[in-house]
Structure 1
Amino acid sequence: MPTSRQIVVNGVRLHYVEAGEASGPLVVLLHGFPEFWRAWEGQIGPLARAGFRVVVPDLRGYNLSEKPPGVDAYRVGNLQEDVAALIRALGHERAHVVGHDWGGIVAWALAIRQPEVVERLVVLNAPHPAAFRRVARKPAQWRRSWYIFFFQLPWLPERFLHRFGAWALRGTNPNAYSGEDRRLYREAWDQPGAATAMINYYRAMGRAGGTQGGGRSSQVRAPTLLLWGERDVALLPELADADGLEPYVPDLRVVRFPRASHWVMRDEPVRVNNLLIGFLSGAPV
């Protein structure tokens, strides 16, 4: 079982779990909405057994981490600085960074803005900012992104999350989330201030005009692996197209999962784990 810890970084108290050897290469796993560290339950053990030091934080606002007030506290710049500060506080200059959904957005931002911190980058079902700019204006993506506009409203999205949050956790694998998983997720959402903090990620993005960090200089220097479940109901498959990303991510590999949903690491954990271990160990994909 991973060990639960608390740390103050970038002025915010974060909860995280840790597994593996302290002397191993550091891997930081970043969850998305509406999850918390448990999103990576199927990856923590295999990565630890492969020799990595695995650290999985609850991002600010989630579960047992601190929940700063106000929308601006959840701008991408603050989120990526939390991760950079966490890596440094753990005694490392660099780390492998793996992010899914909002964790993927933060991982992209970190690799763009502080490239010296990211050894290797893995992103699951979160588009590079350049791909998002290219596709976001298409009507098909607008229709899939309806919830982003809904989350700009006051108080009503919080009600929706409390009542229908489990609805979002649906994938192609009927056993992806157990009853115990859903109970623990509801406990996390019921933490005081958690629902508003989680939704403030989207409100902050709305205030920024839908941008996720970085403009024309959105280049990622780290070797990058993009894993994409093609049955994602919120994101078009073309967001994972490598075409056009060469100037931004020159060392990019894309692996698609035709039968997986947005929750690709839950739908196909064995294949995802093998790819993660191989890529982070330096093996070709």
Structure 2
Amino acid sequence: MIDVNGIQLHIAEQGSGPLVVLLHGFPESWHSWHQQFGPLAEAGFRVVAPDQRGYGRSDHPDDVGAYTILHLVGDVVALIRALGEDKAFVVGHDWGAPVAWHTALLRPDMVLGVAGLSVPPPFRGTQPPLATMDKRFDGRFYWNYFNRPGAADAEFAKDVRTTLRKFFYAASGDAATDGEIMQPLVNPGQGWLETMPDPDVLPEWFTEADLDALTESFSQGFTGPLNWYRNLDRNWELTAAWHNAVITRPALYVYGDRDLVPAFPGTPELIEKLPHLMPSLWREPVKLAGCGHWTQQERPNEVNAALIEFLQAHS
């Protein structure tokens, strides 16, 4: 347990050398990186993965306003300092990717390099994101569902293990075998889980032990993690000063070709333009065939190889 930014964060740690901070996404925990610890530590790095605020054994502030992107970046900055370092590599997946990207954007002096999995670098839109998605999908986009007070909280907490099992299978490359990637839409009054498949057998990369660890980490429910989504428009307001700003630190982007996030409206076009939009991007984006949303868990060997090559090149 580490005191940072007015709260306590639970971390897992292994290895010695340049610091690499691994930031998980939703609905996950530090355990999402368990297949990265050994290889990165053996490659000569000090690997630290926190349960981010609102998750697992870390503190869960009650105030919705305590989950803005500035709080989340502040946690990373304070964590690096608390670990006795001045600089670190920052790697994020899903929601952890925007935190990593923004850490590099707001505090480039503390970032040796930044890598994002699934979610590409942030280029701030001209309109608030919730209103944009509400209009485009008639209020059915999952961000808008998550912003209905208490709705998703109650649905997901009713049977935590089933919720997580459905989430992980539905967004995996295994569930998208026909090649079609559906937008994550929620029918009004129905909830989201009812439309998700529930596998009889888990994919090979996601074991019952993984599901046990993840289920335990959500013993306090889903409200803290959902509060991240409830700050999307506030984040848009808070980052106005960085509109059109570009990340200058060395950067790596990795994603799966069956991942629903890179298929969000406008995102394929953004990914295609990334090498021109971000001079700091190290090589072309790494596209993993047959991989769904859970990048480092579905394709640990490829992700580890890409990360180690990137980290060693910029140490």
Q: Same fold (TM over 0.5)?
A: yes
Q: Using the alignment, how far apart are the partners of 1:142 and 1:30 within structure 2?
A: 29
Q: Using the alignment, how far apart are the partners of 2:20 and 2:139 within structure 1?
A: 31
Of residues 247, 256, 263, the one that matches 1:220 is 247
Are 1:67 and 2:96 an aligned pair? no
**Length-normalised TM-score, structure 1:** 0.87
Of residues 227, 231, 244, the one that matches 1:204 is 231
Which residue in the other structure is 1:261 paired with? 292
Which residue in the other structure is 1:3 paired with? none
Alignment of 1:17-166 (within 5 A): 17-21=12-16, 24-130=17-123, 142=137, 146-162=141-157, 163=159, 164-166=163-165
Question: SS where residue 129 of structure 1 aligns?
Answer: coil
Question: SS where residue 222 of structure 2 aligns?
Answer: helix
Change (3 A) 1:226 1:260: same
Change (3 A) 1:144 1:153: closer
Counterpart residue identity of residue 205, structure 1: L
The question of whether the paired residues in 2 share the 8 Å contact of 1:127 and 1:239 is answered with: no
Of residues 271, 276, 280, the one that matches 2:307 is 276
Are 1:230 and 2:257 an aligned pair? yes
Are 1:10 and 2:5 an aligned pair? yes
Q: Using the alignment, how far apart are the partners of 1:145 and 1:276 within structure 2?
A: 36
How much does 1:160 deviate?
2.2
Q: Using the alignment, how far apart are the partners of 1:212 and 1:186 within structure 2?
A: 34
How much does 1:246 deviate?
3.4
Which runs of no fewer than 5 residues in structure 1 stay unpaired? 1-5
Question: SS where residue 228 of structure 1 aligns?
Answer: strand
Q: Using the alignment, how far apart are the partners of 1:256 and 1:145 within structure 2?
A: 29
Counterpart residue identity of residue 275, structure 1: A
The question of whether the paired residues in 1 share the 8 Å contact of 2:119 and 2:261 is answered with: no
Which residue in the other structure is 1:178 paired with? 207
How much does 1:69 deviate?
1.2
**Length-normalised TM-score, structure 2:** 0.79
Deviation string, structure 1 residues 212-248 (Cα, Å, up to 9, x no partner) = 776434221111000011211244161651416634x
Change (3 A) 1:161 1:10: same
Q: Using the alignment, how far apart are the partners of 1:246 and 1:133 within structure 2?
A: 20
How much does 1:32 deviate?
0.3
The question of whether the paired residues in 2 share the 8 Å contact of 1:109 and 1:213 is answered with: no
Change (3 A) 1:223 1:196: same
Counterpart residue identity of residue 4, structure 2: V
Which runs of no fewer than 5 residues in structure 2 stay unpaired? 175-202
